């Protein structure tokens, strides 16, 4: 807080001004300090200076929700523009009109036809404004012809007034496949066959590999370079917290910073949440953010994560995916063995693998080692366990009649199957199912 003393019409009055919070816990908002993406930015920079023959000239960014794909695309566009490139930004949509949106964005960036509105106009992005092409009645031409023409114009204007063009497409997993196929074909023709300077970076959830990119017409995209957005290291998370605090006129002690960084698990959105709430808890800017401020900040951040990340994540899953997830939440150990999950659910590992693949692609769980599973967000397990089974359905989608928690329900379900119950208890205690069985039957010592 800053106290300003103002003298107005001879009278002095004091105005208190809040230091504005330097954290941005909003999807798509660039952070004050973008940390830990040096590798992706370095590859992008190299591709930009080498040109269409560089292997990263067309690239895909993959990462779970909140890992920083949108803000990394923005940083790449900023860099490209700073180097004289024309940047075109598009967000993929499932509707067939996505093809027109793509064409229009490219045509508009290339400055075609001085934005002449014609009967062939298309209305996209709610603008209602149309862009026509040099060819009359362009809507009668195939999407392929129009897409290729727009991209070629974009490439051809590049040598005149810029060094090249960059097209970014966000939310690729959500793309209309026919439109994306046409885009990929055009990009291949323009950059790989004609060697023209149109860079491309697409971003999406890993699930795009099984949806948008699985199409047989997508071989070009199947082969282009990929960058996986990994969790930030503890040091990177700490930097992403410390730098905005200091830039905002605050300070934070080493122990408090270590607590805050550890609580983020390297998840960029959580970094912003923990920073935002810890900053708010410390009302006196002249003193450092304390461990108590951070503890309260983490608690508030966890609540936001539950509402803004976990609930939508689980809502997007299929019923069986949710049941597999619910079964995982019954284990208290951070690492869950696939064979224990198989025993608890009574389903063979190869049956579970299909759903596990999907949970991995959705960014909900990951496989730290062969046969082992882990929640991406450690607090998600506690949240799943706490979900009351109300109104006939749990957060994990299983119809229930009581108000048991998910954990209680799984144990109750397994009561009929003693072996599975012993395995579940054994997994939690880190011992063998056989030992648990013998204890429960009173056969030990
Ligand atoms: N490298 C980073 N360093 C610090 N903060 C970051 C970083 N990357 C992203 N953030 C912050 O994390 C949040 C999520 O970023 P962003 O919206 O780019 O994620 P996303 O992967 O696009 O998510 P979604 O898949 O939901 O669209 C934002 O608040 C952003 O400011
Ligand atoms: Mg995004």
Q: Tell how far the Cα of 145 is from the centroid of ligand 2, in angstroms.
A: 30
Residue 73 CA: which ligand 1 atom is closest? 18
Please tell me if the CB atom of residue 36 comes closer than 6 angstroms to any atom of ligand 1.
yes
Please tell me if the CB atom of residue 204 comes closer than 6 angstroms to any atom of ligand 1.
no
Give the CATH fold of the 232-313 domain.
Helicase, Ruva Protein; domain 3 (1.10.8)
**Beta pairing partners, 166:** 87, 199
pLDDT of residue 401: 30
CATH architecture of the domain 38-228 equals: 3-Layer(aba) Sandwich (3.40)
Chunked mean pLDDT (size 10), the chain, 445 residues = 52 62 96 96 96 95 93 97 93 94 92 39 36 50 91 82 87 93 94 92 88 86 93 97 96 97 95 97 89 97 94 89 93 91 93 91 86 91 79 40 45 54 57 62 47
Q: At what angle do helices 254-263 and 291-305 cross, to 10 degrees?
A: 10
Please tell me if the CB atom of residue 250 comes closer than 6 angstroms to any atom of ligand 1.
no
Nearest protein CA to atom 24 of ligand 1, as residue: 65
Detail the DSSP E strand segments found in 82-179: 85-91, 164-170
H or E element that contains 3: strand 2-8
CB 228 within 8 A of CB 366: no
Long-range contacts of 240-243 (CB under 8 A, 24+ apart): 240/31, 240/33, 240/34, 240/35, 240/36, 240/268, 240/271, 240/275, 241/271, 241/274, 241/275, 241/278, 243/32, 243/33
Phi/psi-derived region of residue 319, left when phi > 0, alpha when psi is between -120 and 50, beta in every other case: alpha
pLDDT of residue 298: 97
Please tell me if the CB atom of residue 34 comes closer than 6 angstroms to any atom of ligand 1.
yes
Please tell me if the CB atom of residue 24 comes closer than 6 angstroms to any atom of ligand 1.
yes
Q: Which CATH class is domain 317-384?
A: mainly alpha
Q: Which ligand is nearest to the CA of 32?
A: 1
pLDDT of residue 120: 34
> What does pTM read for this prediction?
0.77
In the chain, CATH 3.40.50.300 sits at 38-228
Q: Residue written as tokens 């991406």?
A: 376
Nearest protein CA to atom 2 of ligand 1, as residue: 34
Nearest protein CA to atom 15 of ligand 1, as residue: 68
Q: Tell how far the Cα of 287 is from the centroid of ligand 1, in angstroms.
A: 29
pLDDT of residue 6: 52
In the chain, CATH 1.10.10.10 sits at 317-384
pLDDT of residue 27: 95
Q: Tell how far the Cα of 71 is from the centroid of ligand 2, in angstroms.
A: 7
CB 104 within 8 A of CB 131: yes
**What CA–CA distance (Å, rounded) separates 391 from 140?**
53
Cβ-count burial of 398 within 10 angstroms (0-12 exposed, 13-18 middle, 19+ buried)? middle
């Amino acid at each position: 807080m800053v106290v300003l003393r103002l003298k107005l019409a001879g009278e002095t009055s004091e105005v208190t001004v809040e230091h504005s919070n330097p954290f941005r816990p909003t999807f798509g908002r660039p952070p004050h300090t973008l940390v830990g993406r040096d590798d992706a930015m370095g590859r992008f920079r190299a591709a930009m200076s080498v040109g269409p023959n560089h292997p990263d000239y067309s690239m895909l960014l993959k990462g779970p929700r909140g890992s920083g794909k949108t803000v990394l695309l923005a940083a790449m566009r900023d860099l490209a523009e700073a180097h004289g490139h024309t940047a075109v930004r598009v967000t993929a949509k499932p509707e067939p009109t996505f093809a027109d949106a793509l064409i229009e964005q490219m045509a508009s960036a290339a400055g075609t036809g001085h934005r002449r509105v014609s009967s062939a106009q298309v209305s996209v992005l709610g603008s209602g404004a149309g862009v026509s092409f040099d060819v009359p009645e362009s809507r009668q031409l195939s999407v392929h012809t129009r897409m290729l023409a727009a991209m070629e114009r974009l490439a051809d204007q590049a040598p005149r007034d810029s060094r090249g063009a960059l097209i970014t497409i966000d939310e690729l997993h959500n793309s209309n496949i026919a439109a994306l196929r046409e885009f990929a074909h055009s990009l291949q023709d323009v950059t790989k066959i004609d060697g023209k300077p149109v860079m491309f970076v697409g971003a999406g959830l890993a699930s795009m590999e099984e949806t948008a990119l699985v199409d047989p017409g997508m071989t070009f995209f199947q082969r282009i370079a990929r960058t996986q957005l990994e969790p930030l290291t503890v040091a990177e998370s700490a930097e992403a917290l410390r730098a905005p605090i200091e830039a905002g006129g605050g300070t934070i002690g080493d122990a408090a910073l270590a607590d805050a960084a550890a609580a983020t698990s390297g998840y960029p959105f959580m970094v912003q949440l923990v920073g935002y709430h810890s900053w708010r808890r410390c009302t006196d800017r002249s003193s450092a953010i304390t461990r108590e401020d951070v503890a309260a900040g983490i608690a508030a951040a966890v609540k936001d994560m539950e509402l803004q990340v976990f609930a939508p994540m689980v809502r997007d899953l299929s019923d069986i995916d949710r049941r597999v997830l619910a079964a995982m939440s019954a284990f208290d150990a951070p690492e869950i063995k696939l064979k224990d999950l198989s025993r608890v659910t009574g389903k063979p590992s190869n049956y579970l693998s299909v759903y596990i693949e999907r949970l991995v692609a959705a960014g909900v769980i990951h496989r730290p080692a062969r046969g082992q599973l882990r929640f991406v967000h450690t607090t998600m397990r506690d949240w799943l366990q706490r979900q009351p089974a109300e109104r006939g359905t749990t957060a994990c989608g299983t119809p229930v009649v009581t108000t048991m928690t998910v954990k209680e329900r799984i144990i109750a379900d397994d009561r009929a199957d003693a072996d599975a119950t012993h395995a579940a208890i054994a997994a939690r205690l880190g011992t063998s199912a056989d030992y648990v069985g013998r204890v429960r039957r009173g056969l030990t010592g």
